[in-house]
Amino acid sequence: MVEAAVFQQLSWNPLTDLHELFAYPFMVNALEAGTIVAVMAGVTGWFMVLRRQTFAGHTLSVIAFPGAAAASLAGLPLAVGYFGFCGLGAVALAGIAGSRRSLSAESAAIGSLQALALALGFLFVSLYHGVLNGLDSLLFGTFLGITERQVGVLLAVAAAAVTLVGIAARPLFFASVDPDVARAGGVPVSLLGLGFLLVLGLSVAETSQITGALLVFALLVTPAATAHQLTSRPALGIALSVLLALVVTWLGLALAYFSIYPVGFFVTSLSFGLYVLVRVGRGFASRAAAPLALEGA
Amino acid sequence: MTAVPVPRKPEAGTPTATAVALDQAAIRLGGRTIWSDVSVTVAEGDFVAVLGPNGAGKSTMIKAILGLLPLAAGTLSVFGDSAGEAKGRIGYLPQRHGFDSATRIRGVDLVQLGLDGARWGLPVPGSPARRRDADRVAEVVDLVGASGYARQPIGQLSGGEQQRLLIAQALVRRPKLLLLDEPLDSLDLPNQAAVAALVRHICEEEGVAVLLVAHDINPILSYLDRVIYLAGGGAIEGSPEEVITSETLSLLYGAPIEVLRASDGRLVVVGQPEAPFVHGDRHG
């Protein structure tokens, strides 16, 4: 009777269960916040994966952690720490990418920055002896304790991020796949690189307050990576990335509500499962001598 | 360090306008003079090869024409304007090592970027402008003969196929000047000749002047109008028969050079001293 123990609240009647999901304000807020985060992460994540900046994105989400810890230590609002550290992190990462000695030197520099960020985070947490109730909530978020005001702020930040990416979509795409030609064609490649990291930092800073520093990364990278596997059409890819992020977020929230396990576990496992499924499926498809089946004509 | 003047062949018919003109131009990079006192002109619709040993400054010349590098001396004009102002009339294909197999970008999307990649904001799907763009992309993809594979991810195509799509990308905005930096580098000999034939076809069809940087003149020799040969800190320009001779190249290098012609018409340059910075070509 493992299922009964894990999903204690499930009545196993879909209608009743669905109705119950929307019965509590905290759950409605969580679903709204999750939806907003999923759309933003789907869009920015698609570009992050395209630009092969997954490691940089991960580092930004790790940097959010010492940011929050430092803010608690200094008695400032957590948001100040998140935005301050993620903004600084984005500038530092753009500097590393801009110097571009070589790809290996770049990833080594980013890795060092990430290690420092983690060490600082733990230092601040141990310096702060008060009621910092948890490393847990800094890392994994407080998805089920979201207020309506937070949803409003989240919506504003997400709208700004998605709008900025939309305005820069084509030059950013150009600069990502073909920087030399883009530069010759008058695209401000370096400026776009910095701008994109700042938008990524903004998204990470805002979402990690709710989903935690680790979960935001799962939403940024996995649905986008799956979408890139499924299609090489840009518009379709972004739409798929958003759709996948939405599906795993909604399912993850619903499963977490009825079970004893946290939201983060379900969202990450579901998206990872999808990714593996698609990769394996593509492997079979290409072996079945139909390599272009998903590309369309 | 002076350019050797080779008189242009007097051409019959209408006088052609000048696409690129360098007059006593010099480039310095990091305190080192790459070349100086270079005076060359490229006429509209000409197919010109830029030749020379590693480190002679072939890519540097392309970047100067693009307006990406300032001259240390002399003047450079592109269609009568200064280098930076002519950007919109230039199609550029940089030196590169191809897309790796993980690049999941379709060829048509890459060509499309040549058209609208610098535009801000999102396109309106189905708008007349969008349809015009799509038509132009299809037209130019057809011109380079890439229609059969343009919708596949570019990373999965062969070097020659990638190069054709990249030439299409450089051509899509109807430039009057095409700068191709070593487009034949990673191709086998039949493909080198095929791409050279394609470039010749484009010159004639679209009236585009082409500067093509190459290592080996032989696969492209029969398609060329003129040659710019960079060596010994200077440059020389003329028809292939004028430039690739023992006398002219010896004068340019300032050392005895012998040009041999094989029975099949292939040219072999013997005694060519290597430039002091063999690995500097990537930057120069």
Considering only CB atoms, which chain B residues are within 8 Å of A282?
Answer: none
Closest CA to A245 of A261, A222, A215: A222
Question: Is there a contact between A184 and B122 if contact means CB atoms under 8 Å apart?
Answer: no
Domain B18-99+174-282's class? Answer: alpha beta
Find the residue in B nearest to A225 (Cα). Answer: B104
A192 lies in some domain: yes
Test mutation, B66, B100, B110, B113, chain A, max A CBs within 10 A? B113
* pLDDT value for A130: 59
B237-246 average pLDDT score? 87
Give the other-Cβ count within 10 Å of A11's Cβ. Answer: 12
Residue A274 structure tokens: 């999808």
A253 lies in some domain: yes
Instruction: Kindly state whether A174 is in contact with chain B, defined as any CB-CB distance less than 8 angstroms.
Output: yes
What is the nearest CA distance from B35 to chain A, expressed in angstroms?
22
Instruction: Kindly state whether B94 is in contact with chain A, defined as any CB-CB distance less than 8 angstroms.
Output: yes
Find the residue in A nearest to B65 (Cα). Answer: A184
Which residues partner with B41 through β-bridges? B21
CA angle B21, B27, B30 (to 5 degrees): 160
Pick from B68, B105, B118: which is nearest to A171 by CB? B118
Q: Is A41 exposed, middle or buried (0-12, 13-18, 19+ CB in 10 A)?
A: buried
Model confidence at A232, pLDDT cuts 50, 70, 90, reads confident
Angle between helices A169-177 and B107-116 (to 10 degrees): 120
A160 lies in some domain: yes
pLDDT at B277 over 50: no
Angle between helices A103-127 and A78-99 (to 10 degrees): 160
Find the residue in A nearest to B106 (Cα). Answer: A232
Question: Per 3-state DSSP, what percentage of chain A is helix, strand, and coil (rounded to 5)?
Answer: 80, 0, 20
Contact A198, A165 (CB under 8 A): no
* pLDDT value for A296: 42
Give the other-Cβ count within 10 Å of B235's Cβ. Answer: 28
Instruction: Kindly state whether B119 is in contact with chain A, defined as any CB-CB distance less than 8 angstroms.
Output: yes
DSSP-derived secondary structure letter, B85: G
Question: Is there a contact between A178 and B110 if contact means CB atoms under 8 Å apart?
Answer: yes
What is the nearest CA distance from A180 to chain B, expressed in angstroms?
7
* pLDDT value for A8: 64
Give dist(CA A30, CA A256) in Å, integer: 11
A138: helix, strand or coil: helix
Instruction: Kindly state whether A233 is in contact with chain B, defined as any CB-CB distance less than 8 angstroms.
Output: yes
Alpha helices in B117-207 (DSSP H): 128-143, 159-171, 189-206
**Residues 4-63, chain B: which have Cβ within 8 Å of A?**
none
A282: helix, strand or coil: helix
Closest CA to A21 of A263, A293, A257, A274: A257
Question: Is there a contact between B123 and A170 if contact means CB atoms under 8 Å apart?
Answer: yes
Closest CA to B41 of B66, B70, B16: B16
Contact B34, B60 (CB under 8 A): yes
Q: At a CB cut-off of 8 Å and minimum separation 6, what does A95 contact? A: none
Q: How many CB pairs under 8 A join A and B?
A: 78
Contact B26, B38 (CB under 8 A): yes
Most confident of A145-154, A275-284, B10-19, B80-89: A275-284
* Cα separations in angstroms, B263 against B193, B260, B268, B272: 19, 10, 11, 21
* pLDDT value for A295: 45
A293 lies in some domain: no
Contact A191, A216 (CB under 8 A): no
Q: What is the pLDDT of residues A181-223, one digit of tens each?
A: 888 888 999 999 999 999 999 888 877 777 776 777 788 899 9
Give dist(CA B249, CA A135) in Å, integer: 73
Contact A11, A17 (CB under 8 A): yes
pLDDT mean across residues, chain A: 84
CA angle A168, A177, B67 (to 5 degrees): 80
Residue B90 structure tokens: 């230039």
Q: What CATH number should be reported for the domain holding residue A168?
A: 1.10.3470.10
**In chain A, how many domains are there?**
1
Residue A200 structure tokens: 């990524």
A43-69 average pLDDT score? 90
Q: Which domain holds residue A44?
A: 8-287
* pLDDT value for A137: 67
What is the nearest CA distance from A51 to chain B, expressed in angstroms?
10
Give dist(CA A201, CA A67) in Å, integer: 12
Question: Is there a contact between A232 and B104 if contact means CB atoms under 8 Å apart?
Answer: yes
Find the residue in A nearest to B100 (Cα). Answer: A177
Considering only CB atoms, which chain B residues are within 8 Å of A170?
Answer: 113, 116-123
Considering only CB atoms, which chain B residues are within 8 Å of A184?
Answer: 66, 68, 87, 90, 92, 94
pLDDT at B188 over 90: no
Question: Is there a contact between A184 and B94 if contact means CB atoms under 8 Å apart?
Answer: yes
Instruction: Kindly state whether B169 is in contact with chain A, defined as any CB-CB distance less than 8 angstroms.
Output: yes
A226: helix, strand or coil: helix
Question: Is there a contact between A184 and B92 if contact means CB atoms under 8 Å apart?
Answer: yes
CA angle B122, A231, A177 (to 5 degrees): 60
CA atoms within 13 A on the CB side of A212: 21
Considering only CB atoms, which chain A residues are within 8 Å of B130?
Answer: none
* Of residues B101 and B277, more confidently modeled: B101
Residue A214 structure tokens: 């680790």
Q: Which amino acid is at B269?
A: V
Closest CA to A112 of A127, A138, A92, A88: A92
B13: helix, strand or coil: coil
* pLDDT value for A268: 87
* pLDDT value for B252: 80
Q: At a CB cut-off of 8 Å and minimum separation 6, what does A112 contact? A: none
Give dist(CA A56, CA A45) in Å, integer: 12
What is the nearest CA distance from A175 to chain B, expressed in angstroms?
8
A54 lies in some domain: yes
Q: What is the pLDDT of residues B124-154, one digit of tens each?
A: 888 888 899 999 999 999 988 899 999 998 8
Give the other-Cβ count within 10 Å of B75's Cβ. Answer: 13
Contact A282, A229 (CB under 8 A): yes
* pLDDT value for B99: 80
Q: Which amino acid is at A253?
A: L
pTM: 0.82
What is the nearest CA distance from B271 to chain A, expressed in angstroms?
35
Test mutation, B87, B97, B104, chain A, max A CBs within 10 A? B104
Between B10-24, B66-80, B108-122, B257-271, the lowest mean confidence (pLDDT) is in: B10-24
Between A121-130, A199-208, A223-232, B212-221, the lowest mean confidence (pLDDT) is in: A121-130
Give dist(CA A208, CA A150) in Å, integer: 12
Taken in order A142, A148, A154, A158, the sign of the CA dihedral is positive
* H-helix or E-strand spanning residue B15: none
Instruction: Kindly state whether B87 is in contact with chain A, defined as any CB-CB distance less than 8 angstroms.
Output: yes
Give dist(CA A188, CA A168) in Å, integer: 11
Model confidence at B15, pLDDT cuts 50, 70, 90, reads low
Closest CA to B238 of B37, B1, B2, B10: B10
Considering only CB atoms, which chain A residues are within 8 Å of B83?
Answer: none
Q: Which amino acid is at A194?
A: L
A1 lies in some domain: no
Considering only CB atoms, which chain A residues are within 8 Å of B114?
Answer: 181, 185
What is the nearest CA distance from A295 to chain B, expressed in angstroms?
7
Question: Is there a contact between B104 and A228 if contact means CB atoms under 8 Å apart?
Answer: yes
A297 lies in some domain: no
Closest CA to B47 of B231, B260, B188, B205: B205
Q: What is the pLDDT of residues A115-127, one digit of tens each?
A: 999 899 888 888 8
Question: Is there a contact between A177 and B103 if contact means CB atoms under 8 Å apart?
Answer: yes
* Of residues A47 and A258, more confidently modeled: A47
Instruction: Kindly state whether B93 is in contact with chain A, defined as any CB-CB distance less than 8 angstroms.
Output: yes
